[in-house]
A and B are shown apart, each in its own frame.
Chain A
Amino acid sequence: MKKFIKSILLVLTLTVAGYSPVFYFNIIENPYGIFTSDFSHQKFEPNNHFIKMRYLLHNDTHFDSYIFGSSRANNIKVENLKNGNYYNLYYSLGIPTEHLNDIRLLLAHHKKIKNILILLDYTAYTTGTQNRENDLSRIPYSDHLIPLAKKYIKYAFTIPEDKFVEDFYFAQPVPYYTNMYKTGTAENKKEELYIENNREEHNNHPKFNNPVEGYESYVLETIAVLDTINHICSENHINLTYAFNPIHKTTYLVSNHELYFAFMKKLSELTSFYDFSGLGKITTNNYFYYETSHYRPMIGKAMTDFIQYQKRIDTIPEFGEYITKDNVDKRIEFLKSQLPQK
Chain B
Amino acid sequence: MLFNSLDFVFFFLTVIPLYFLLPYRYRILMLLIASCYFYMFFVPIYIVILFSTIVIDYFAGILIEKSQGHKRKAWLVMSLVANIGILCYFKYFNFLNENLTILLQSFGKINTIPNLAILLPIGLSFHTFQAMSYTIEVYRGNQKSERNFITYALYVMFFPQLVAGPIERPQNLLHQFKEKHNFDYLRVASGLKLMAWGLFKKVVIADRLSPMVDYVYSNPLHYTGLPLILSTLFFSVQIYCDFSGYSDIAIGAARIMGFDLMKNFNRPYASRSIPEFWRRWHISLSTWFKDYLYIPLGGNRVSRGRVYLNLLFVFLISGLWHGASWNFIIWGGIHGVLLIIYMFAAALFKGRVESENGVLKIVKNTFSIVLVFFLTSLAWIFFRAKTFEEASYILFHWNRGVTGQINILKLHNPEDLKSLLYLGADGRNFIIALASIVFLFLMEYIQAKFAFSKRISIATPVIRYTTYAALLLLILYFGVFDKTLQFIYFQF
- How distant is A215 from chain B, measured CB to nearest CB, in Å? 21
Q: Are A14 and B188 within 8 A (Cβ)?
A: no
Q: Are A159 and B465 within 8 A (Cβ)?
A: no
Which residue of B has the minimal Cβ distance to A159?
B477
Please tell me if B442 contacts chain A, counting CB pairs below 8 Å: no
CB-defined contacts of B473 to chain A, threshold 8 Å: 15, 18-19
- How distant is A95 from chain B, measured CB to nearest CB, in Å? 21
Q: A7-B189, A19-B476, A157-B476 are in contact. Are A146 and B10 (CB under 8 A)?
A: yes
Which residue of A has the minimal Cβ distance to B470?
A18
- How distant is A146 from chain B, measured CB to nearest CB, in Å? 6
Q: A4-B188, A18-B473 are in contact. Are A11 and B468 (CB under 8 A)?
A: yes
CB-defined contacts of A22 to chain B, threshold 8 Å: 476
CA distance A262 to B82 in the complex (A): 52
Q: Are B189 and A10 within 8 A (Cβ)?
A: no
- How distant is B214 from chain A, measured CB to nearest CB, in Å? 18
Please tell me if B349 contacts chain A, counting CB pairs below 8 Å: no
- How distant is B50 from chain A, measured CB to nearest CB, in Å? 25
CA distance A15 to B477 in the complex (A): 11
Q: Are B185 and A15 within 8 A (Cβ)?
A: no
Q: Are B6 and A11 within 8 A (Cβ)?
A: no
CB-defined contacts of A18 to chain B, threshold 8 Å: 469-470, 473
Q: Are A14 and B185 within 8 A (Cβ)?
A: no
CB-defined contacts of A19 to chain B, threshold 8 Å: 473, 476-477
Please tell me if B183 contacts chain A, counting CB pairs below 8 Å: yes
Please tell me if B300 contacts chain A, counting CB pairs below 8 Å: no
Please tell me if A153 contacts chain B, counting CB pairs below 8 Å: yes
CA distance A4 to B192 in the complex (A): 11
Which of A1, A11, A134, A150 sits near B183, CB closer than 8 Å? Answer: A1
Q: Are A4 and B185 within 8 A (Cβ)?
A: yes
Q: A3-B185, A157-B476, A159-B477 are in contact. Are A10 and B465 (CB under 8 A)?
A: yes
CA distance A157 to B481 in the complex (A): 11
- How distant is A22 from chain B, measured CB to nearest CB, in Å? 8
Q: Are B10 and A11 within 8 A (Cβ)?
A: no
CB-defined contacts of B469 to chain A, threshold 8 Å: 11, 14-15, 17-18
CB-defined contacts of A14 to chain B, threshold 8 Å: 465-466, 468-469
Chain B count of residues within 8 A CB distance of the other chain: 18
Q: Which residues of A contact B (CB under 8 A)?
A: 1, 3-4, 7, 10-11, 14-15, 17-19, 22, 134, 146, 149-150, 153, 157, 159
- How distant is B474 from chain A, measured CB to nearest CB, in Å? 10
CA distance A146 to B40 in the complex (A): 17
Please tell me if B402 contacts chain A, counting CB pairs below 8 Å: no
- How distant is B401 from chain A, measured CB to nearest CB, in Å? 35
Please tell me if B472 contacts chain A, counting CB pairs below 8 Å: yes
Which residue of A has the minimal Cβ distance to B185?
A4
- How distant is B138 from chain A, measured CB to nearest CB, in Å? 39
- How distant is B200 from chain A, measured CB to nearest CB, in Å? 14
Most buried by A among B183, B185, B461, B483: B185
CB-defined contacts of B476 to chain A, threshold 8 Å: 15, 19, 22, 157
- How distant is B185 from chain A, measured CB to nearest CB, in Å? 5
CA distance A15 to B468 in the complex (A): 9
Could you show 27 A-B contacts with beta carbons less than 8 Å apart? A1-B183, A1-B185, A3-B185, A4-B183, A4-B185, A4-B189, A7-B189, A7-B465, A11-B465, A11-B469, A11-B472, A14-B465, A14-B468, A14-B469, A15-B469, A15-B472, A18-B470, A19-B473, A19-B476, A19-B477, A22-B476, A146-B7, A146-B10, A149-B6, A149-B10, A150-B6, A153-B6
Which residue of A has the minimal Cβ distance to B5?
A150
CB-defined contacts of A153 to chain B, threshold 8 Å: 6
CA distance A223 to B476 in the complex (A): 42
- How distant is B14 from chain A, measured CB to nearest CB, in Å? 10
Within 8 A of A (CB), among B457-490: 461, 465-466, 468-470, 472-473, 476-477, 483
Most buried by A among B7, B188, B469, B477: B469
CB-defined contacts of B6 to chain A, threshold 8 Å: 149-150, 153
CB-defined contacts of B10 to chain A, threshold 8 Å: 146, 149
Which residue of B has the minimal Cβ distance to A145?
B10
Which residue of A has the minimal Cβ distance to B183?
A1
CA distance A291 to B105 in the complex (A): 61
- How distant is A101 from chain B, measured CB to nearest CB, in Å? 19
CB-defined contacts of B477 to chain A, threshold 8 Å: 19, 159
CA distance A300 to B435 in the complex (A): 55
A7-B465, A11-B469, A18-B473 are known; give 20 further A-B pairs, CB within 8 A.
A1-B183, A4-B183, A4-B185, A4-B188, A7-B189, A10-B465, A11-B465, A11-B472, A14-B465, A14-B466, A14-B469, A15-B473, A17-B469, A18-B469, A19-B476, A19-B477, A22-B476, A134-B483, A146-B10, A149-B10
CA distance A127 to B271 in the complex (A): 51
